[in-house]
Amino acid sequence: MKRLVKGLATAAALSAAAVAGLWVGQTGLLKLPLEPEAATAASPPQATGPVIYYRDPSGKPLYSLTPTNAPDGKPYVAVHASEDVSFDKPKATANADPHDDHGRRIIHYRNPMGLPDISPVPKKDSMGMDYIPVYEDEAGEPNAVKVSPEKIQRSGVKTEVVRKRAIGRDIRAPGVVQLDERRISVVAPRFDGYVERVGAVTSGTHVKKGQPLVTLFGQELLNQAARLLVEQDLGPSNDEMPRNQRSQATGVAGMVGARRRLLNLGAPGEFIDEVRRTRRVPDVVTWPAPIDGVVLERNAIDGQGFKAGDVLFRIADHSVVWVMADVAEGDIGAVKAGQKVKVATRAYPGRTFSSRVAVVYPHLTKETRTAKVRIELPNADLALLPDMYADVDIHTRGEEPVVAVPESAVIDSGARQVVILATGDGKFEPRDVRLGGKGDGYVEVASGLDAGDSIVVNGNFLIDSESNLQSALKGLTASPAKEARQ
């Protein structure tokens, strides 16, 4: 009895297994092994060609030009030329649609990574990315580049209308504070004599005009002062008479008088007036300061003798000083007299002195390849000292507006300057331009653009790469046609 029950249970289990197997096979949950011929037909073709790169074994977008291993130790998979890039034109399939949903004709598909590979039918690269369609209307314009609105939005392409504007830039140059050559004076008597006594002045003392500097004795000067008194008793001399009353007669009236000789000797006017007023010749003459300023040199000593022309004092007026800036040879063409200048010094951080360019010197220093530019600065508080270093900022600006574009809009390769022109409907055209001066973040366009044109100011390298890629693809498509004609 037990054997009968066990046999019935076994039969029921086999029957249930058969029914379950039939259901699994019909529903496709279990894949049965392929026949040998079917397996051979479904296997991928054998890779041919040289190894062009190696990819990550886990499918990550990581590549290498040489054999290497992943962090887990697995070796990178070699990718042959036939697995990624095919330079042979594959045959079109019967189901290939040469038009898109909008009726635009597709002439071929290009590699999404920019590789020189095209296909007449849709396909994917080794990373699973779809090839990009190239339309007939895009290929018909040799200089135009068509970019989809989605790509323009993702890449942040921005355009701007070209306008005329007055551009300028700041030229920075080092400078040195110097004395104004026109505000330096010396005390150098025109006669021989002796220093009687020097006043309370030394080098560095600030003096006022007319302030006594030194007391001098000069025999020639005193002789002419005595003759002035004699002439005063005899009548006016020729130089003291009005111009229309001067005569050529001999005598006192026809001579150049003592007053003129005193002036020729540099005698102070106060000394001459004192002699005529008091009718007395003093033993010495007090020499005053000729200008307001600072004593640079004091060469006079009590009792010292001097010859005519010896410099006893050198005085400089510091109320106005020069700043001599060294402007580089490449910037000197933009500097003109009258341009605004700001000067800063290390001695007064945060303080700037404003002025204008006074003189641009017409010669170049060959050792430094710089030109001198002179700026005149008021210095009422004597803050600027001679030989003080200064940072000069010259603001150059053109008088007339010119066609200018932002510097970011120019693609400069050195030998060629290109601006991307936006022609509308997502189309862009590279345009060669000739540039001029720069300033305020803009560059002048001497030729190649007109006011009102729309150009790309941001993301232009994307458009340039698209242009170069399309040029390469056109070269690939033209080569087979040229070979066929030959």
pLDDT averaged over the chain? Answer: 78
Where residue 414 falls among pLDDT bands split at 50, 70, 90?
A: confident
Only one residue has tokens 């000789």, namely 261
Whether 66 contacts 54, CB under 8 Å: yes
pLDDT for 399-409, tens place per residue? 678 898 988 88
Mean pLDDT of 460-485: 54
476: domain CATH number is 2.40.420.20
Q: What is the pLDDT of residue 12?
A: 45
pLDDT for the residue numbered 427: 77
pLDDT score of 298: 96
Residue 149 within any structural domain of the chain: no
Residue 57 is assigned to a structural domain of this protein? no
Least confident window among 85-94, 139-148, 451-460: 85-94
Q: What is the 3-state secondary structure (H, E, C) of the chain?
A: CHHHHHHHHHHHHHHHHHHHHHHHHHHCCCCCCCCHHHHHHHCCCCCCCCEEEEECCCCCCCEECCCCECCCCCECEEEEHHHHCCCCCCCCCCCCCCECCCCCEEEEEECCCCCCCEECCCCECCCCCECEEEEHHHHCCCCCEECCHHHHHHHCCEEEECEEECCEEEEEEEEEEEECHHHEEEECCCCCEEEEEECCCCCCCEECCCCEEEEEECHHHHHHHHHHHHHHHHCCCHHHCCHHHCCCCCCHHHCCCHHHHHHHCCCCHHHHHHHHHHCCCCCCEEEECCCCEEEEEECCCCCCEECCCCCCEEEECCCEEEEEEEEECCCHHHCCCCCEEEEEECCCCCCEEEEEEEEEEEEEECCCCEEEEEEEEECCCCCCCCCCEEEEEEEEECCCCEEEEEHHHEEECCCCEEEEEEEECCEEEEEECEEEEEECCEEEEEECCCCCCEEEEECHHHHHHHHHHHHHHHHHHHHHHHHHHC
pLDDT surpassing 80 at residue 318: yes
Quick check: is 244 in a domain? no
> Which residues fall within 8 angstroms of residue 438, CB to CB, at 6 or more apart?
167, 169, 407, 444
Q: Tell me, yes or no, whether 31 and 136 share the same domain.
A: no
Q: Pick the residue with more confidence: 319 or 110?
A: 319
pLDDT at 126: 78
pLDDT at 270 over 60: yes
Q: Are residues 333 and 307 in the same domain?
A: yes
Task: Please state which of the ranges 137-146, 326-335, 416-425 shows the lowest mean pLDDT.
Answer: 137-146
Of 61-65, 241-245, 319-323, the range with the lowest mean pLDDT is: 241-245
In this prediction, residues 144-163 reach a mean pLDDT of 75
Model pLDDT for residues 12-46, shown as the tens digit of each residue = 443 443 434 433 344 444 444 444 444 444 455 67
What percentage of the chain has pLDDT greater than the value 90?
Answer: 37
Query: Could you tell me if 171 and 290 are in contact, meaning their C-beta atoms sit under 8 angstroms apart?
Result: no
Q: How confident is the model at residue 468 (pLDDT cuts 50, 70, 90)?
A: low
Domain boundary among 381, 397, 413: 397
Residue among 296, 274, 297, 304 nearest 286 (CA): 274
How many domains are there within the chain?
4
Of the pLDDT bands very low, low, confident and very high (cuts 50, 70, 90), residue 466 is low
Give 58 or 472, the one with higher predicted confidence.
58
Instruction: Give residue 471's pLDDT.
Output: 55
Instruction: Say how far apart CA 166 and CA 337 lie, in whole Å.
Output: 18
Task: Return the axis-axis angle of helices 219-234 and 269-278, rounded to nearest 10°.
Answer: 50
pLDDT-wise least confident of 112-126, 394-408, 472-486? 472-486
How high is the pLDDT of residue 342? 96
Whether 5 shows a pLDDT value over 70: the answer reads no
159: containing domain? 155-164+401-485
Q: Are residues 202 and 304 in the same domain?
A: yes
pLDDT at 171 over 50: yes
- Give how far Cα 411 sits from Cα of 13, 433, 444, Å: 80, 10, 14
In a shared domain, residues 300 and 391: yes
pLDDT at 156: 74
Look at residue 250 in the predicted model and tell me its pLDDT: 39
Mean pLDDT on 378-399: 91
How confident is the model at residue 35, as a pLDDT? 46
Q: Flag whether pLDDT at 266 surpasses 60.
A: yes
Q: Looking at the structure, tell me whether residues 91 and 118 fall in a common domain.
A: yes
Phi first, then psi, for residue 75 (nearest 5°) are -75, 150
Pairing of strands 427-432, 293-298: unpaired
- The answer to whether the CB of 456 falls within 8 A of the CB of 159 is yes
410 and 329 in a common domain? no
pLDDT at 451 over 50: yes
- Token readout for 46 is 């054998």
Q: How many CB atoms lie within 10 A of CB 397?
A: 15
In a domain, 11, yes or no: yes
Residues 252 and 235: beta-carbon distance below 8 Å: yes
Domain shared by 380 and 420, yes or no = no
Separation of alpha carbons 450 and 339, rounded Å: 29
Q: Where residue 114 falls among pLDDT bands split at 50, 70, 90? A: low
> Could you say which of 397, 424, 451 is where a domain stops?
397
Give the CATH number for residue 205.
2.40.30.170
Confirm whether 61 is domain-assigned: no
Whether residue 225 lies inside any domain: the answer is no
Q: Do 409 and 393 share a structural domain? A: no
- Provide the 10 A C-beta neighbour count for residue 476: 15
The answer on pLDDT for 470 being more than 70 is no
Quickly state the pLDDT bin for 146 (edges 50, 70, 90). low
Q: Which of 41-50, 153-162, 234-243, 466-475 has the highest mean pLDDT?
A: 153-162
436 and 386 in one domain? Answer: no
Where is pLDDT greater, at 23 or 474?
474
- Considering only CA atoms, which of 404, 361, 420 is closest in space to residue 147? 420
Query: CA–CA distance from 36 to each of 28, 44, 174 (Å)?
Result: 20, 14, 86
Can you give the C-alpha Rg of the chain in angstroms? 48
CA gap 23, 46 in Å, rounded: 37
Same structural domain, 304 and 392: yes
- Of 103-117, 198-212, 291-305, give the lowest mean pLDDT range: 103-117
- Looking at the structure, do residues 379 and 427 belong to the same domain, yes or no? no
Residue where one domain finishes, among candidates 364, 379, 397: 397
Per-residue confidence (pLDDT) for residue 321, from 0 to 100: 97
Asked if residue 416 has pLDDT above 70, the reply is: yes
Q: Does 135 map to a domain?
A: yes
Average pLDDT for 311-338:
94
Residue 9 has pLDDT above 50, yes or no: no
pLDDT tens track for 204-254: 999 999 999 999 999 999 999 999 988 887 765 555 555 555 444 434 444
- Same domain for 209 and 332, yes or no, is yes
The CA distance from 455 to 462, in Å, is 14
- In a domain, residue 48? The reply is no
Q: How far is CA 138 from the centre of its chain?
A: 38
